[in-house]
Amino acid sequence: MLRYQIKKILSITLYLTVFQYSNAAPVFADSIGASFILLSVHTNPGILALREQYPRKIDAKGKYVFTPGVEGYYQQQFASSPLKMDSMRFAIGAGYDCADMKFGFMHLGGRWVFPWTDQLLLDVGLGPSLIFRESWKKRFAELVADEEGFWVESDEFIPGYQYKWLIGGNLELQYEFATNWHAYWAVVPAINILVINSIGVKYSF
């Protein structure tokens, strides 16, 4: 298991290295961004008894949950456009999940931009991601059996946390409110489970 996870980490590192050296220009950030993670909307009923115990739930059934967190990212445009990507982004984030347990993620992925107006655009991202959270077995030991097979838990990799490697991304609706500045609303659309919402700002150099 440990050897497998090391291979995963090395693969992502190689992916980032190839990206950096595939550009003729010196490596620098074309843009940076930061956001506040605010709200999770659960689209799968799941175990109602579990959702009703979410400490930060907004409604009685736990469909809407306040999940405070922060995210930051570094983004660089491509000199050319492999796979028609406009840029590449490395993002990290941390906060508290629906169960009020610590969570975090790392993401490296391509970005595709679809302008709608002179000031409004849709920015779509997709790429390999590592997500992790404090083990829910600490709080809901008798109610998490339905998640077995999705999350991985090991004493050799992030002890005390459950984690998952996957291909993920987000959608960002960006509005240019000043020169080089965009405000954005972002969603992580894991439609069959939940939708995570955040708001932030982006600065382009």
pLDDT range class, residue 48, cuts 50, 70, 90:
confident
**How far is 1 from 163, CA to CA, in rounded Å?**
13
pLDDT (tens digit, 9 = 90+) per residue, 52-98? 888 999 998 889 999 999 999 999 987 776 678 899 999 999 999 99
User: Closest by alpha carbon to 47, among 193, 195, 197?
Assistant: 193
Residue 173 and residue 129 in contact, taking contact as beta carbons nearer than 8 Å? no
pTM exceeding 0.95: no
User: Closest by alpha carbon to 174, among 86, 78, 66?
Assistant: 86
pLDDT at residue 149 is higher than 50? yes
Residue type, 204: S
pLDDT at residue 26 is higher than 70? no
Distance from chain centroid for Cα 111:
13
**pLDDT score for 144:** 61
**How far is 144 from 129, CA to CA, in rounded Å?**
23
**How far is 136 from 138, CA to CA, in rounded Å?**
5
Give Cα separations from 126 to 87, 112, 148 (angstroms): 11, 9, 25
**How far is 141 from 71, CA to CA, in rounded Å?**
29
